[in-house]
Copies of this chain bind each other. A is one copy, B any other.
Amino acid sequence: MDTTIKSLGPCEIISPLHHVGGGVEVNFRKDNERVLFSHTLDRDSEPHADASQFSFEASGPREHIFFNPAKTTAAIVTCGGLCPGLNDIIRGIVTQLHYRYAVTKVFGFRYGYEGLIPRYGHTPMLLKPESVSQIHNFGGTILGSSRGPQKIGEMVDLLEEMNIDLFFVVGGDGTLRGAVEISNECERRGLKKAVIGIPKTIDNDIMYLDKSFGFETAFAVAVQTVKCAYVEATGAVNGIGLIKLMGRDSGFISCYAALAGGNVDFVLIPEVPFQLEGERGLLEALRYKLAKKKNAVIVVAEGAGQDLIPSAGNTDASGNQKYGDIGLFLKDKIGAFFKERRTECNLKYFDPSYIIRSVPANAQDNVYCSQLAQHAVHAAMAGKTSMLVGRWHGAFVHLPIALATQGRRKVDPSSELWHSVLESTGQSARLSDG
């Protein structure tokens, strides 16, 4: 596994962070400082032989930097679906560039990669500390966003034309793969441009990262809907609250929302297959639960149970697989199941995804986003490229984009997390006869 970070060249400029003054020392980091991938070991055994290989470059301010602040121009773009914290990232990058590096030309491209294609007519915004000082109080992104790729060459043309030196790309898998291509094209053209990714996925499914920004806010908001669903479920005879949450490939939001909210009876996630029918399937388990406690709450991640839905395959503008709507599917199946058995059941269906993703970041994400932004700026000024910033076991690190986008982080069904969910819900470990 290659964890080497690409560099635009030697760092020969003294960082302006030296001038903090007051005799306070900045804790500069060196490129050879590493964060171990694995920090657990067996006492009896040797430390992992490859520990020094399998590790990430530590993030943080460098004593010498690549770009001359006085001549540096930066730009930011936000792509894909909304996620709490986007405005915090924008604000953080702008203020960090201004106040710590004295880089004052910072542009915001509008509406995702579309904003780098002149014919769409989206004029870039000049971003100043004053104009971004309150944006963290609002959800969404002041830049706007869009899905889908654009022509790499055309985008690099604009970056070249506008003399953008530092290009901060906030987005998901597809967006970040685009960032790699942009970086490669810059290299091909001999352009010294730092392309730094800040990975955005509300599902918390990025490999080698503790958590993605916005995740803490997202599951905290999801908990509120879980509580509403419980209220509805207890308010009617055989009441069922069914909540579909985000999570195409990974059930983190569903697991955390269920753990935090309590009162959930079933959590269905992509990582753990389940059956509807059969003695140990979901429907019989649900019938049993209603008989026992008169109500039930079900949390289902949008990517769960896709094998059960007779529909599949298309992809959206960003190249992501389209999913069958497991929420509505379950709603119908559960309704039909109880109707067939002439049992009254009052199912209330909740689909809060757009409400969750559009709220302002909470205090946790306020801080985390500002830290990600700071580390992104440090990395860019030091001439790193084709990398993203993240946090691993509490330490901020640099990751090659290519490494992080080669798979997705998932809930491990043998982990304490999933077992906590099983305990909290009381659901059977396998809702299937298999």
For A94-128 the 0/1 string (1 means CB < 8 A from B) is 01100110000000000100100000101000000
Chain A residues touching B, majority SS? mixed
- Residues on B with C-beta less than 8 A from A21 are 428-430
Q: In which size bucket is the chain A interface?
A: 35 or more
- Give the Cβ gap from A207 to chain B, nearest Cβ, in Å: 15
- Give the Cβ gap from A214 to chain B, nearest Cβ, in Å: 13
- A210 and B394 in contact (CB under 8 A), knowing A32-B42, A228-B354? yes
- Residues on B with C-beta less than 8 A from A138 are 134, 137, 231
Q: Return the chain B residue nearest A210 by Cβ.
A: B394
Q: By the criterion CB–CB under 8 Å, are B145 and A236 in contact?
A: yes
Task: Kindly identify, within residues 1 to 46 of chain A, every residue whose CB is under 8 Å from any CB belonging to chain B.
Answer: 17, 20-27, 30, 32-36, 39-44
- Residues on B with C-beta less than 8 A from A350 are 354-355
Does A335 have its Cβ within 8 Å of any Cβ on chain B? no
- The one of B26, B30, B43 in contact with A34, judged by C-beta atoms closer than 8 angstroms, is B43
Does A260 have its Cβ within 8 Å of any Cβ on chain B? yes
Does A306 have its Cβ within 8 Å of any Cβ on chain B? no
Does A405 have its Cβ within 8 Å of any Cβ on chain B? no
For this complex, 27 residue pairs linking A to B, each with C-beta atoms less than 8 Å apart, are A23-B429, A24-B413, A33-B43, A34-B40, A34-B41, A35-B39, A36-B39, A39-B395, A41-B55, A47-B47, A47-B52, A61-B416, A82-B231, A99-B426, A140-B231, A140-B234, A144-B235, A146-B237, A223-B363, A229-B354, A259-B367, A260-B363, A352-B355, A370-B424, A374-B423, A393-B395, A396-B416
